[in-house]
Amino acid sequence: MILNATIQDDRKPVVLLHGLYGSARSLGVIGRALAQSWRTVSLDIRNHGASSHAPDMQYATMADDVFETLDQFGITQATLIGHSVGGKIAMMAALRAPERVASLAVMDIAPVAYPPDHGNSADGVIDALRTIDLHPGLTRREADTTLASRIPDPGLRGFLLQNLVPGEAPYWRIDLDAIEAAMPNLTGWQDPKPCKPYMGRALFIHGDKSDYVSAGAATEIRTRFPHALIRTIPNAGHWLHAEQPDTVVAVLEDFLKQ
């Protein structure tokens, strides 16, 4: 699948992969900062943003989406930066085709399976979004009011409602059915076969308030990515790039310049 892409100039390419329920704009603060020195390629993963919808959301399939999209622009090798689900896509891409991944940066996720109720329950989010009646003339304010009873965090509601196109013919940019069906794959992890360690440079950063990268997860990271640097971002949770953008950008820039 060719993904929707936003690409700038002809410098060394850095590909940005957002997480679940996000879009290319979710990593906009990182993309804008890195675009000063690198060619940034911001992708909408399948079933998100302006990319096409399809039921298959295996990580191997989504890694192939990345390479197929880059092929369209003549990019044979790039650094991959991914957050959450996007980080798992980036890891899978590096393990499947290491010659195409110049280096790897993963934000607040590990190559492990997480329980379905880890963090915000994905099933709960989808159920909550489905409570919004997509009637003609729907406004974002109305949708936010409906969603508030199920998702009290206004920041999370605002993030999720970026996927809603209101108006006379409202619709979701994300494919709720495909994401719901794929949730066991998205929360899980299965190594490619055969799985040889990625020997390139790798950076894993996580928030000190997040529980996505435990001591056990760090062991799994280093098994597959022997040269991985693991950095903790102070005063940040899973959405570390939104909570501590300056620190995250500085860490990424330092890694990319090495």
Residues belonging to the active site: 84, 177, 238
* Radius of gyration (C-alpha) of the chain in whole angstroms: 18
Q: From CA 202, how far away is CA 226, in angstroms rounded?
A: 8
Q: Which two tokens stand for residue 43?
A: 């992708």
In this structure, the strands spanning 228-233 and 78-83 are: unpaired
Neighbouring-strand partners of residue 16: 42, 81
DSSP 167: B
β-pair type (13-17, 164-165): unpaired
DSSP string for 12-37: SEEEEE--TT--GGGGHHHHHHHTTT
Taking the CA of residue 205 as centre, how many other CA atoms within 13 Å lie in the half-sphere pointing to its CB?
Answer: 25
Provide the angle, in degrees to the nearest 10, between the axes of the packed helices 85-96 and 59-72.
80
Peptide bond preceding 194: is omega within 30 degrees of 0, i.e. cis? yes
